[in-house]
Structure 1
Amino acid sequence: MPKIVTPLTLGQVKSARPKDKIYKLSDGGGLSLWVLPSGGKSWRMTYIRPDKKTDTLVLGLYPEFSLADARQWRDEIRAKLARGIDPKAGIADFGAKYRFENRLAEWYERWKLDGGKLGDGKNEKYATQVLAALELNVLPEFRGRDVRQITTAEIVACLRKMEERGVLEYLKRVKSSLGLMFDYLVADGTIAANPVRIIGRQVFKKPRERHFDALTPNQLPLLIERLENTKGVSERARLLIYWQLLSMVRPNEAAEVPLSEIDLEQKIWEIPLTRMKTRPHIVPLSSALVQIYHEAMAMNARGVYLFEGLGGKPMNVETARINLRQKMKLPTTGHGLRTLATTYLREVHKIPKDIRDLLLSHHEESKTDRAYDRAEFLDERREVLELWGRDVMALREKYRKK
């Protein structure tokens, strides 16, 4: 029996607040309001095409399109579907195939199916963020426009609004995505030249290079002292921060580690490609990491994730940052722990850059080199993490409450 959806009220639409991730409020009949982390609200409709495949249409942003507008739009689409017409293929008015919004949807559907880490398409979260950024910052400017008539000057004027808001890194990403869409239009013969590609680097202000806040090596004792003695930091959060510091991995890789990735017998933690940026990563388990593992397991109830959060999920990826900055009052972040570790290893133990890069999973290599590195440098990495773990745990013993 199909699920009964309670229609949205205008109050729900108006009061919907952004969260860390995109979420949907359903109005029934396939119509949903997508609430974006940026604060934008996008009307979209999911439907079954005549060929039985699922597809999605985008109307646009609220309040430019009201709840009543969205419902009328949904009813028109459902009427077409009842007659066996695919709404994307059956737009009747002349020139619709050249409209910006239609070509945006066409490019997006093709682009998101291309590539990806495992060759099965773009990461869903990433693809959704790309579309949301274009819907919020570009679509309102060019809705209804013929893509063949959009000029470079108009695109610059559109993106200039983002520059005025000071979101320069965001502007850079939106410009890149828009360029990919127009590349597609060049490739299929719709336009002769890409109006985005000729926008020079000097047109917009450059975003400042951003480094994550990090402590210096001589502040390592301060970090451990605060970690051991700050009130209000839970034991699970404390252990998570130690785990991230000692393993030198990224915040999400540390917080969301499933027990299935850890091999205590071999003393390795193997993070698969699906949880990494570009490649799988092996972390040799030092004595210090093994100790933290056993302390975390002593509090483990479900046996799925090493660091358990609420509702059977892993701990939140922001746990380390919130505790470090808000509770311990330290000028660092979860990512900053990686910087601290690699700087400490360089300055105190004189560890060469290639080994430090391997520990951070930062190095660039061919497939052949990657296989060689995994085998040849595992012992070297283990020795370095033992040195690092010894120094950290000595400070832990010094500052720990007896």
Structure 2
Amino acid sequence: MSLLVLGINHKTASVALREKVAFGPEIAPRALQELVRISGVEEAVILSTCNRTELYCHLDPNSDSRLVKTWLQDFHQLDEQELNACLYQYHGEETVRHIMRVACGLDSLVLGEPQILGQMKLAYNQSQKVGSLNGVLDRLLQKTFSVAKRVRTETEIGSSAVSVAFAAVSLAKRIFSDLGRTRVLLVGAGETIELVARHLKEQSVTDMTVANRTLERAQNLAQEFNGDVITLEQIPDYLPKADIVISSTASPLPIIGKGLVERALKARRQQPILLVDIAVPRDIEAEVDELNDAYLYTVDDLQGIIEQNMATRQQAATQAEVIIEEERDHFMAWFRSLESVKLIVDYRSQAELLQQQELALALQALAQGKDSAQVMQRLARRLTNKLIHTPTQALNQAGQNGDQDMLTVLANNLKLGQH
């Protein structure tokens, strides 16, 4: 039995190639069925995300892993040289380590990101539905999920913000203990604001309003999060209602000035406002920070938080690697035990066959009238010689190789070490 990972990721391949190698949900079931039909492939899982495509396989010991690579190349009609330049492979215990590192976010574009674990679980569920999991690989994936949970519990790998959008929401969470009770104004409707909105939704924020120059884009974003839409010109009317303002536009000039915020604070009867400006150039005048009850943070402030948190994640990643090594060793011990069980079964079967053969010869000799004592002595001698042949060979080989550990194990099991 052997384990294999075959794949490409954001570190080895361009976006263009990753798109070619991807397995969308509409083709993944068929691909899995084809993959396990390859000679020697016992089990298979396909993990396909925007940053990686990886094939996890449990192979028969006599199989050729090159057949899996050829299948991948043919399935997507890829250029062999282009694929080979980006492809990586892991075998045996390196496969176990790699899969566990991926699940824990240690191999991700953003260190420690949690989304990959959910994507891996979806891939696992898909393989279960198709029927491409039935033993060793199934056990490995279940073990991997428990390892990822342990890493999340015992380290700080996912507890700190390492993106501007996440840092902005984390900052708001520090100031407002219950974000679900706040009103949020999002200024802009680009990718960063969309990520901010997603993080806010995860924190149970339900009252979001999107202000944008183009209403159509704002409406598309607001619909996804059940939010409201206003134009940039309507910000002065809405601002007194907002507890949190997060702004990220491409405007060359500030959109929110000191006077506008000052009037909003008066209307709010000096209830504080958190303003997070993650635009470059700035969307909010720097002078706003001079106002009492207005707490202004810029992208530079957030960058400092991110750098500090990144250092925390790096430290946590080191701790996670130790956990992974420990859990990998546990899994490999179980995996190797399967081989020993197979050897024991094979050896017992061989011994049973020898017993039947020698017993048949002895009965035949007795039927021919030969002396029963001689027949029994011959049976015992021949059976003993054949049964000790394999252990004797192992002892000789261990002695020739100077393998003292093997000699000790054999001596203990054969009770030769007792005097």
Same fold (TM over 0.5): no
Which has more helix, going by share of residues? 2
Give the alignment's TM-score, normalised by structure 2.
0.28
Greater CA radius of gyration, 1 or 2?
2
Give the alignment's TM-score, normalised by structure 1.
0.29
